[in-house]
Amino acid sequence: MSERYAARPGHLYGVGVGPGDPGLITLKAARLIESADVIAYHQGSPRRPSIARTIAAALIRPDVVEEALVYPVTTGASEHPGGYYGAMADFYDECAARLESHLSAGRSVVVLAEGDPLFYGSFMYVHDLLSSRFPTEIVPGVTSMSAASAAVARGLCRHEDTLTVLPGTLAVPELARRLADCDAAVIMKLGRTFADVREAVRQAGVLERAWYVERASSERERVLPLADVDPQDVPYMSIIVITGADRRADSAGRAHAQAALRPSGGSTRAGTVYVVGLGPGPDRWLTPDAGEVLGRVSHVVGYSPYVARVPQRAGLTRHASGNTVEVDRGRLAFDLALGGEDVAVVSGGDAGVFGMAAAVFEAAEADPRYADVDVRVVPGLTAAHAAAALAGAVLGADHALISLSDRLKPWDVVVDRIQACARADLAMAFYNPRSRSRPDQLGLAKEALLAVLPRERVVVLARNVGRDGESLVVTTLGELDPEQVDMATLVIVGASSTRVTPSGRVWTPRFVS
């Protein structure tokens, strides 16, 4: 083997020793371990041997200096003033100081890491503290995830499937949501979290594809279907592998393929397509009717951030997609309904206000196969009216809701409409005011309005209404700064009668004098 693999004085090495089988240690890692002046390793307890050291034991020289870095806590509980993370931060500072003394003396230091040093490994925190001051090299290792996948011996990802790696410490609803949104997954950090993790897997509807792997690649390796595991006997060094199905990842493609396989003229009763408004932000603004529908449908279809707001549960399949494919989402919903499934297509705010309701009807109109599918629109709180309520009652009289996006209509139509509403003295709420792909349109709209309205016209900017970071700015058309506005902001331009109270509340009288 080349001498360049030997450890050099004053150098820090993060060396992955693999998941358990010493035969999976790489040749480069072995040479560095054999030649190091100092071998360091993290250890859960003084009474329990380090897993990483145990894996590499045959390569460690008797005369080498060893640094056992023993964790002060191994759970989330700590009496440290800063809690668990405060205790761990102090611990990593101590680790770095101990290793720094060796590096400053010109000794080579190898820090052993089970699996890979930067994959849920403690070495990364030492690396953060020391790599700017000492030459540092990271030697990758076979991950426990790779060993577990090999132990399951089934295809993990196929075609365009995505693989998601998740910690078992996530709350059950969040873990279930993320599992439902991916194709294949690996869940780390089990032990005490196992019962909750298995419940999340069940709720996500992927229990039949889930495998439990204990101590992957070691002599004590154990592989079982997840459903068969006793929760009382699960060590921390275990992993759940959820294999991808043998199909393409695109959910719309799958639904169309399923629809093509169904015999025409069959007796299957078509399901119902519900188009559901989720409200503009907090869960408490979801209507009881919307919650009832979401609690019983078999499928939820929508733009990814909106699908993410629907709690995962057993029996629910989620179909998240990107922006600008609204009609495709409608077609997917109809195809699922033709197979007898009840489907919810979700939108933020009210689905009938610049939302998915119109796109669903557009999809229905274009394909006669969908004519007999029942479509029901479930209203939601609109973003415009939530923003107006935050301000006071700025939409208290006649008003218009206008999208500034020119994706579905020419910009000159937008200008004609906002100027017509301004001449009619209507208050106006602007959706889609400004985005990265359309950074100039609010400024152009401002110029168009100033051709009709005075600079003193009241303007309200409501951002993140009902969510973290909620803010309200009351300004005038002349002072409006488009740079203050993004897609999370709703812009309201008042009517001539719109007033601002001494306390900053904005309202528009119902009467016209």
pLDDT tens-place string over residues 450-493:
999 999 999 999 999 999 999 999 999 999 999 999 989 999 99
**Of the candidates 31, 24, 63, 56, the residue with the CA atom closest to the CA atom of residue 42:** 56
pLDDT level of residue 269 (50, 70, 90 thresholds): confident
Q: What is the pLDDT of residue 478?
A: 97
Predicted pLDDT of residue 204: 86
Q: By the 8 A CB rule, do 279 and 310 touch? A: no
Residue 246 confidence (pLDDT): 62
Mean pLDDT of 310-338: 90
What does DSSP assign to residue 469? T
- Do residues 238 and 214 lie in contact, with contact meaning Cβ atoms separated by under 8 Å? yes
Q: What is the pLDDT of residues 187-218, one digit of tens each?
A: 998 988 899 999 999 888 889 999 999 999 99
Q: What is the pLDDT of residue 296?
A: 95
Report the distance separating Cα 64 and Cα 187, nearest Å.
36
Question: How far apart are alpha carbons 145 and 167 in whole angstroms?
Answer: 12
- Please give the Cα distance from 246 to 227 (Å, whole number): 21
Instruction: pLDDT band for 257, please (50, 70, 90 cuts).
Output: very low
Pick the range with the lowest mean pLDDT from 187-191, 296-300, 505-509: 187-191
Which of the four pLDDT bands, split at 50, 70 and 90, describes residue 2?
low
Q: What's the pLDDT score for residue 247? A: 52
Give the tens place of pLDDT for each residue, 160-172.
Answer: 888 999 999 999 9
Q: Which residues pair with 38 in a beta bridge?
A: 65, 109
- In eight-state DSSP terms, residue 18 is B
Q: Indicate whether 254 pLDDT > 70.
A: no
Query: Which range has the worst mean pLDDT, 64-78, 131-145, 297-311, 406-420?
Result: 64-78
Residue 238 identity: S
In this predicted model, what pLDDT tens digit does every residue of 332-347 receive, in sequence order? 999 999 999 999 999 9
8 Å CB contact between 234 and 190: yes
Average pLDDT across the chain, whole number? 91
CB-based contact 230:222 (threshold 8 Å): no
CA angle, residues 121, 124, 129, in degrees to nearest 5: 150
Alpha-helical segments (H) within 215-317: 251-261, 288-294, 304-307
For residues 436 and 141, the model is more confident at 141
Write the pLDDT tens digit of every residue in 359-384. 999 999 999 999 999 999 999 999 99
With 90 as the cut, is the pLDDT of residue 157 above it? no
- Which pLDDT score, from 0 to 100, does residue 259 have? 46
Long-range contacts of 190-197 (CB under 8 A, 24+ apart): 190/234, 190/235, 190/236, 190/238, 190/239, 190/240, 191/234, 191/235, 191/236, 191/238, 192/75, 193/168, 193/169, 194/168, 194/229, 194/231, 194/234, 194/238, 195/231, 196/168, 196/171, 196/172, 197/168, 197/240
What pLDDT sits at residue 264?
47
| Residue whose C-alpha is closest to residue 271's, from 307, 296, 249, 308 | 296
The confidence score (pLDDT) of residue 406 equals: 92
CA distance 446 to 510: 26
Distance between CA atoms of residues 489 and 352, nearest Å? 19
Confidence of residue 34 (pLDDT cuts 50, 70, 90): very high
Cβ pair 430, 491 in contact under 8 A? yes
Instruction: Report pLDDT digits (tens) over 110-139.
Output: 999 999 999 988 999 999 999 999 999 999
Confidence at residue 75, expressed as pLDDT on a 0 to 100 scale: 66
* 413 Cβ contact partners less than 8 Å away, ≥ 6 residues apart: none
Mean per-residue pLDDT, 37-66: 94
- The answer to whether the beta carbons of residues 210 and 242 sit under 8 Å apart is yes
Q: Which residues pair with 320 in a beta bridge?
A: 302
- Locate tokens 């409409």: which residue? 417
Q: Give the model's pLDDT for residue 306.
A: 92
Distance, CA of 239 to CA of 151 (rounded, Å): 11
